[in-house]
Structure 1
Amino acid sequence: MTKRTAPFSPEVRERAMRMVRDYEGEHGSQWSAIQSSAAKIGCSGETLRNWMRQSKRDHSVWPGQTTDERERIKALEREVRELRQANEILRKASAYFAMAELDRWSRP
């Protein structure tokens, strides 16, 4: 499995979030500042809003999983999936060899 690269670098994300914070006073709401900034960098307003929310989680302003925690959980879930697959292979191999051993002993 190949890792997908993000279409926007962390620097661009930071700059976009800084733009929202800087221009929030010039707009009627944070959402209008987000939409304006998103149009300038070429992403959707919803994407930029999600970046803002995740940044707040990462800096313990909002409750929720930080980026590091989310990555750790993904890695652990991937490891669990791989271990379950390995266990299934071993279970099938064990059953196969047990049957082969029984066949060997049942022949005259």
Structure 2
Amino acid sequence: MARRLLDADPLTGLRTWHEHDAESGRTLIHYEGDAEPLIARNKAAANAASGRLGEMAHVASIPASVQMKWLVEKGVDILNPDHRQAVATLLDDPEWRYLKTRNIILGRV
């Protein structure tokens, strides 16, 4: 199967690929992106942040590739207000804590 680039978003770094298998007729869409620069900024922000939170606080930065993964695999849309608790639960999970810009437990905020 040959992969073909459909889109490369320079703002988010998300790339969308198309793959088609002529024998089976299957078409696949893949999303990928480099989240390393954002993760490095998140870690630096978490280490520099005080423990105090005001009325509003920047608590996480979630790369577009992770947003897409959560939407496809877990059914969680970070832009849907009804999914706020699910997003907080995911961010509190050790697997995803590198997305947080503060060392806090969001389920307690």
TM bracket (short chain) = under 0.3
Question: RCO (CA 8 Å, sep 6+): is it higher in 1 or 2?
Answer: 2
**TM-score relative to the length of structure 1:** 0.26
Q: Which has the larger share of helix?
A: 1
Q: Which has the larger share of strand?
A: 2
**TM-score relative to the length of structure 2:** 0.26
